[in-house]
Structure 1
Amino acid sequence: MDNHVVSIPKPVILLNIDSLMPQPLEIAMQTGRAPALKFLMEQGRYIANMVTSFPTMSVTIDSSLLTGTYADKHHIPGLNWFDTEQNQFVNYGTGFRETFRMGMKKSIHHMLYNLNNVHLSEKVSTIYEELARIGLSSASINSFVYRGNKLQQLKIPKFLRTFTYFEDGKWTMKVPSIFSLGLFSKLRPVGFTAQLAAGNYKYMARELRYLIHKQKLPAFTFCIFQDMDARIHFKGPMDIKGIIKIDRQIQKMLNMFDSWEEAVNSNIWMIIGDNGHSATGTKYRDYIIDLRKLLNNYRIVRIQRAVHKKDELAICVNQRMAYVYMLDHVNIGTIVEKLKHDKRIDIIAWKENDCIRVESAMKEGTLYFRPNGKYVDEFNQSWWIVGNHELLDLKWIENHIVYNDFPDALARLHGALYSHPGQFLVVNAKPGCEFKAQSTPFHLSGAAHGSLHKQESIVPLIIAGTNEQPITPRIIDLKEFIFRVIQEQLHE
């Protein structure tokens, strides 16, 4: 139950700019085209190397940010995965053709209901739930991951009800104290978004400005600007026009105070990206890895029909990474050898006994690892490791592991491989390349994400209004950081 009895002097506002990356952000700030972001950076601190979750897809990343855990704990494996217990694909919206073939009703139900009520593990708590337990309110604006403590009935517009399983287009969710999600729940009494669920960047900014104007900011507000991701997919990772547009909206927020300095004195501002992008190649034949063709001598589940008893494999693509599931008595080693024929696949990983085994189509050898061993990494996690460490580009300084091309690779791979039941492979494409299966969208001459590579795994964080910072530069440490700066104010 939410109690609106406790307040703090400086509310925390976290703005998540989908696909914000360090280099284009720095260019926009240095050239004077992002004055609000530059001001906030100069007022506080800038961390250019925050490590995001894996797969580098928004629902997994937002789940990690809000729960402080990787996917092995929160159980959201990606935007597209296969539920071996229910024998069905779970797709939260990868693209119209793919979701249409899988079934619009099913995909919409997964996104609107199952994501928060069924799939997000009850064994982890969101920051909204934990703040509610100590009597503090919170807000979610524009995020599909939002589980809180307050029961609220949501309602879908009449003209869209045929696309859902909800009786009369109504369903009840547990949400934060203040909740905004496009047409389903809005804060302003007037205001319209042309988008079904999540509003565009202007709509989201207006919702947040409404809270500021009405002096209704709770202890913590989480907002997502989602528009930039679609633009970068087609324009490439160095496009900065999206940053410029969003910066104008942040300027309007800061202008609501007597001065921009007052905005920082009154609130703690955090701006973060959720994932990066890798530039993609121009030729389909050279840069698109069609997993169905690569494994064409196996019977692969077709996404538009139920699983058949003779089906052997299911494939779920998350742009530059994919899950390959063994459904029947298929030898996993044979599948690995097939995949190793394609030299554009840089990581193939799977669970073997109590270890994770890693191989590659690009490098020789095998790597085995599991948690708890004599080697300690830069995030103070210990590992048992045997084999060719170059497969994950691991370096050693004495007994200390240092990550290079694949940040926090051991914990993030472990997170994905233990995120849900089943026998499956995680495959990772080399930069420039992207996976494809049945009806999967791809992004030639643009950019894509999803993989373990540093281009998609490193995001920026700006903090203004506090001298505190996360204990390590990882998205999974943001929850503890936010909770800490809020609790410190309660004890002042």
Structure 2
Amino acid sequence: MKKNTQSKKPVILLNIDSLMSEPLELAIQTGRAPALQFLMENGSYFTNMVTSFPTMSVTIDSSLLTGTYADQHHIPGLTWFDNSKKEIINYGTGFRETFRLGIRRTVHNMLFRLNNEHLSSEVTTIYEELAKRGMNSASINSFVYRGNTPQKLQTPKLFSALTRFKNGKWTTEAANIFSLGTFSKVRPWGFATQIAAGNYKYTARELKYLIRKNKLPSFTFCIFQDMDARIHLKGPMDIKGITKIDKEIQKILDLYPSWKEAINQNAWLVMGDNGHSATGTNHREFVIDLRKWLKKYRISRIRRPVHKKDQIVLCVNQRMSYIYVLDDSLPLSAIIEQLKNDERIDIIAWKNESSIHVESGMKEGSLKYRPSGKFTDIYNQSWSIEGDAKILDLNLTTEKRVTYGNYPDALARLYSVFNSHSGRFIVVNAKPGCEFKAQSSPVHLSGAAHGSLHKQESLVPLIITGTEEEPIYPRVVDIKEFIIRLLQD
């Protein structure tokens, strides 16, 4: 770790949803991203920062802001099953699924319960940590926003009927400066171009307002969300979204006497949150309908509450899925054997006591592991490992070292989801090109999808400019500590 030689200065973190290294480098090579090129050439560039699992935004942002995986922050995906309340939790996976689950319920989950009920009180966000140290922070366009400053949010009249808040108003705990589309704005007369949150131009305008008014806090977190929807449709190598967002970053840097002065006055971090895997074109070949494999069991229907007679609940996070087994008389092994018949499922995992068991529909063999043991991985985490390491594409050396192949930091990330919430469940992961379906969950044929443990979705770029410091490891869970280190005396 390098010694901090920088004076304390504001940190600005720009999170570009679905930014990936290869299209970023293509955009720079073709002259379409001069602002990102400037930041890259005047700082440090990491092509392989490891994100969290599942590779869905709410889980990743929770890991980023708390510095923990899901076993500690307890946000296990964009959709999951709350076993204690027998309720499917959904933060907005797609219009059809959201409509059938109930729009009011989903909006309430996304805007309020995510931060005030589901995000564990046992962990602290970076906003809470900085407030303890007497430093202000800003959250712009992030649905994970928990801080310790009471903030009043206002639901637009046309949208208030879809919420569970009296008169469309409620108070939540957020960062000192809080912006979330039409619900809370930094600019007094700002206009959000999207109902639920602002688009990339809105995010940039909010940040520019703080800079112009000299209101930039110690730490500012901005999310540019638009690229995700475009890549789902166009595929992972589309760079038009990068070009559009780069133009907004250029305008932000132009507020300073020079771009050099912008990085002299601030530390800038630019990162992606998850990658995408290109999806196939044939529905029958590339869409794994879990209902067909499990049709002999009583699967809960999302249109109604979970019934006592239901045996299984399916929660699909695009290229990964949770399969919850509610019937105690139904052994997990029966379902696992069914799933192993599908060669498109590359990981089938479950928990037995303190160990994680992994098999595959693509490969023979099995693997069992748990924390603490004679093997140490590249992140200095120790593990007890038995069985066929190739199931998770692990490389075990004679010196008891573990390195990762297709599934970065797989042992910790997979372990985390099995300890993120209660219940008996199986985790399945689709091979690249494929994704899961259950009832009304969306699919993305001829485009791209994410959610899985695979490196295509798990490795994202990170640019650090304005400081010579670096994170301990290039992982999303190490960014919180890194930022606090930049800001501390």
Instruction: For residue 194 of structure 1, report the CA deviation from its aligned partner.
Output: 2.8
* Mapping 1:207-218, distance limit 5 Å: 207-218=206-217
1: distance between equivalents of 2:184 and 2:258? Answer: 31
Deviations 1:364-392 (CA, angstroms, capped at 9, x unpaired): 11100000000000110000000011000
Matched, 1:447 2:448: yes
Equivalent runs, 1:123-202 vs 2, <5 Å: 123-202=122-201
Cα distance in structure 2, aligned partners of 1:88 and 1:231: 31
Task: Check conservation: 1:68, 1:478, Cα contact below 8 A.
Answer: yes
1:447 is matched by which residue type in structure 2? A
Instruction: Show the counterpart of 1:314.
Output: 313
Q: CA deviation at 1:328?
A: 1.1
Matches within 5 A, 1:432-443: 432-443=433-444
Q: CA deviation at 1:197?
A: 2.1
Residue identity opposite 2:388 in structure 1: N
8 A Cα contact 2:297 2:312, kept in partner: yes
User: Matched residues in 2 for 1:163 and 1:305: separation?
Assistant: 18
CA contact (8 A) 1:143 1:181 kept: yes
Output the CA distance in 1 between the equivalents of 2:239 and 2:376. 38
CA-to-aligned-CA distance 1:119-156 (integer Å, 9 cap, x gap): 00000000000000010000000000010010111111
Distance 1:484 1:55 in 2: 27
**Aligned residue identity for 1:199:** G
Residue 246 of structure 1 corresponds to 245
CA offsets, 1:243-294, max 9 Å, x none? Answer: 0000000000000000000000000000000000000000000000000111
Which whole-Å CA distance do the structure 1 matches of 2:126 and 2:307 have between them?
Answer: 41
Rounded to whole Å, the distance in 2 between the matches of 1:309 and 1:135 is 50
Q: Which runs of structure 2 are paired with 1:75-474 in the superposition (5 Å)?
A: 75-329=74-328, 330-397=330-397, 398-474=399-475
Q: Given that residues 378 and 403 in structure 2 are in contact (C-alpha distance below 8 angstroms), is that contact kept between their aligned partners in structure 1? A: yes
Q: 1:207 and 1:353 mapped to 2: Cα distance?
A: 48
- Taking the aligned partners of 1:436 and 1:131, their CA distance within structure 2 comes to 41
1:432-479 deviation line (CA, Å, top 9, x unaligned): 000000101000000000000000000000000000000001000000
**Equivalent residues of 2:46, 2:463 under 8 A apart:** yes
Code of the residue aligned with 1:408 in structure 2: it is D
Distance 1:194 1:395 in 2: 48
Deviation of residue 423 (structure 1)? Answer: 0.4
Could you tell me whether the CA contact under 8 Å between 1:82 and 1:316 is conserved in 2? Answer: yes
Q: State the Cα deviation string for residues 212-248 of structure 1 (Å, max 9, x = none).
A: 1001100000000000000000100001010000000
Corresponding residue number in structure 2 for 1:4: none
- The one-letter code sitting in structure 2 at the alignment partner of 1:459 is V
Whole-angstrom CA distance in 2 between matches of 1:9 and 1:56: 33
Letter matched to residue 409 of structure 1: A
AA partner of residue 281 (structure 1): G
User: Residues 166-212 of structure 1: CA distance to partner in whole angstroms, max 9, x if unpaired?
Assistant: 11111110010100000000011112113112100001100000001
- Kindly indicate whether the alpha-carbon contact (under 8 Å) linking 1:141 and 1:181 is maintained by their aligned counterparts in 2: yes
2:37 maps to which residue? 38
- CA–CA distance in structure 1, aligned partners of residues 483 and 179 of structure 2: 21
**Within 1, Cα distance between the matches of 2:151 and 2:202?**
21
1-structure distance, mates of 2:69, 2:8: 31
Query: CA RMSD of the aligned region, Å?
Result: 0.8
Q: What is the alpha-carbon distance in structure 2 between the residues aligned to residue 165 and residue 19 of structure 1? A: 31
- Amino acid across the alignment from 2:395: K
Partner SS for 2:151: strand
Asked whether the 8 Å contact 1:9–1:266 carries over to 2, the reply is: no
Q: Which amino acid aligns with 1:238?
A: M
SS of 1:305's partner is coil
Q: What is the CA distance between 1:9 and its match in structure 2?
A: 4.6
Cα distance in structure 1, aligned partners of 2:205 and 2:158: 25
**Match for 1:354: what amino acid?**
S
TM-score by length of 1: 0.97
Whole-angstrom distance in 2 between the partners of 1:417 and 1:447 = 26
Query: Could you say what secondary structure the match of 1:148 adopts?
Result: strand
| Alpha-carbon separation, structure 2, partners of 1:171 and 1:189 | 19
Deviation at 1:61, TM superposition (A): 0.1
Equivalenced residues, count? 481
CA distance in structure 2 between the partners assigned to 1:13 and 1:395 by the alignment: 37
Q: Cα 1:438–1:190, aligned 2, differ >3 Å: closer, same or farther?
A: same
Do the aligned residues in 1 keep the contact of 2:43 with 2:466 (CA within 8 Å)? yes
TM-score under structure 2 normalisation?
A: 0.98
State the AA in 1 paired with 2:378: E
Aligned with 1:269: secondary structure? strand
Structure 1 residue 399, shift from structure 2 partner:
1.0
Please, which runs of 5 or more residues in structure 1 have no aligned partner?
A: 1-7
- Counterpart-to-counterpart distance in 1, 2:152 and 2:88: 27
Q: Secondary structure at the match of 1:23?
A: helix
Q: How does 1:465-484 map to 2 (within 5 A)?
A: 465-484=466-485
Q: Secondary structure at the match of 2:147?
A: coil
Q: What residue is the counterpart of 1:485 in the other structure?
A: 486
CA distance in 2, matches of 1:102, 1:399: 47
1:307 Cα shift? Answer: 1.3
Give the secondary-structure state (helix, strand or coil) at the position aligned to 1:163: coil
Q: Deviations over 1:71-110 (max 9, x none)?
A: 0000000001011111011000000000000011110110
Query: Deviation above 2 Å: which 4+ runs of structure 1?
Result: none
In structure 1, distance between residues paired with 2:255 and 2:112: 36
Letter in 2 for 1:144: F
Cα distance in structure 2, aligned partners of 1:197 and 1:443: 22
Letter in 1 for 2:232: H
Segment drifting more, 176-185 vs 8-17: 8-17
